[in-house]
Each structure stands twice: as structure tokens, then as C-alpha cells.
Amino acid sequence: MPEKLKSIFNWSGGKDSALALNHCLQNPELEIKYLVTTVNDALNRISMHGVRQELLVLQAESIGIPLYEIRLPEMPGMKEYDEAMHFHLEKFRQEGITHSIFGDIFLEDLKKYRDERLAEVGMTGIYPLWKRDSHELINEFLGLGFGTVIACTQARLEEFVGEEITKELISTLPDDVDVCGENGEFHTFVFKGPIFSKSVPYKTGEKVFKEYAAPKDADDTCFSATPVKTLSGFWYCDLLPIG
């Protein structure tokens, strides 16, 4: 038997991550050593998505792959972010890990940025969903029995925050919104599906609106899937673990 590719999986807790992981778990050539998630250290929440770390831990426990948290300040600059990620990628490489898996779909600049950072430590990116049609992906996701809730949205999509994604909800999204939110229109939290040994129970809490300015050294290859250079607003729905 050929040696498996030792990999980390970049886990956001959302639907694209979940679907990509489902594909990877069926690939006998891959060995996933860790679910790697960046966490806002000040708020103890998943970076960008705003989901509580407690729910992240419950996801990882149900999936059965060790969770590796990379703790970051609330608004790291690009230099600070790059240095932190380089440090952890070096650690993974020293463990014999050679590949890093992402759920990206079509953002070329982001893929280029990821591949360049990985190359610095001799690692290679894997993109199971790359260039697939967004409508095809969301239909596959729902057809497999996954369940996901919208954790945050751009300001203009307030009505959708805190709602579970269904085919009916997808049909009501504005025409200029990617149905997978690949342009950063929304982010999600997956609570059930074939990759979980049991569902992750949650309830919706307070909805809040927050505005952010990009770090002064940010550019279009920002680590975020939604690089911005000006003030940007997002609605967040606080998701609370049950039990």
C-alpha cells in the first residue's frame, strides 16, 4: 500500500469545510492529522465566523479528529498573521505533515496566497471543491443530510442571519449573492451530517451588528475570504450550545 499523504484540514466550522472534509474522509490516499482552526483569542470565537469555541470543540469531538487551535488577536495585521501561520506550518512540517486541505471554491487570489505560504515550508495545498459550481455544491451538501445555520452575514443580508439553510432559503437569496457565500456574503456553522457521530445541539441567541476596518497593512491577498480596505459591517447571531 502506498504511504498516505499526511495532512491538516483547515476547518472553519462551516458548510464548505464540512463538504470538503466529507470528500477527504472517503479518500484512502489521505491521512488527516488535525482539524486546524484560527480562533479570536480576545473573544474565544472562530475567526470571521464568530462562533463560540465551545461549539467548535463539540464539532471536533463528534468528527473524531484532533482539534488544533491557532490563537490570534482580534484584528491581526497581515505581517502578524503571516508570522503566526508560518510558525505553526513549520511545526506541522516537522511532524511529517506535507499537505494542507481547504474548502475554497473559486477565489483565485486566496488560493494563490495560500499556496505561496505553504510553499515557504515545503507543503502543498489540496482543494477538493475547487472550481465546482456553487449550486451543485449546496445541493450536494443538503442532499447528504448536512444541517447548517447562518452565523453571520454582510449588513445587507440581516434577514438571513440565524436561519438554517434550506433549498427554500437559497431560492430567496439576492441574485448577486453566491449560494455558498464564497465571496464572503455569509458564514455558517454545521451542526449535523455524515461526518459527525452525533449532531451538535445549539440554540440561537442575540443578534448583533459589528463594523470592522481592515488592518492598515491588509491587501487583496488577505487571509480573509472577504478582504476589505474600508469599514465593513456584519450581522452576527450568537449560537449557544445546549446542555
pLDDT of residue 243: 75
Q: Record the pTM.
A: 0.92
Query: What pLDDT is stored for residue 225 in this prediction?
Result: 37
CA-to-CA dists, residue 145 to 127, 130, 171, angstroms: 22, 21, 18
Query: Kind of pairing, strands 30-40 and 5-10?
Result: parallel
pLDDT in tens, 196-225: 999 999 999 999 999 876 655 544 333 333
142, exposed or middle or buried, with CB in 10 Å at 0-12, 13-18, 19+?
middle
Cα–Cα nearest to 172, from 157, 192, 190, 191: 157
In this structure, the number of other CB atoms found within 10 A of the CB of residue 54 comes to 15
- Residue 116 CB neighbour total at 10 angstroms: 11
pLDDT computed for residue 27 by the predictor: 97
Q: Give the pLDDT confidence score for residue 216 in this predicted structure.
A: 53
What does the pLDDT read at residue 233? 92
Nearest by Cα to 14 from 236, 194, 191? 191
What's the domain count of the chain?
Answer: 1
pLDDT at 214 (0 to 100): 60
Classify the phi-psi angles of 43: left when phi > 0, otherwise alpha if psi is within -120 to 50, otherwise beta: alpha
* CATH assignment at residue 165: 3.40.50.620
Residue whose cell numbers read 490516499: 29
Q: Write down the pLDDT at residue 215.
A: 54
Q: Which residues of the chain have pLDDT under 50?
A: 218-230
* pLDDT of 218: 45
Q: Which domain holds residue 131?
A: 1-243
Q: Provide the H-helix boundaries in the chain.
A: 15-25, 53-63, 78-94, 108-119, 134-143, 167-171
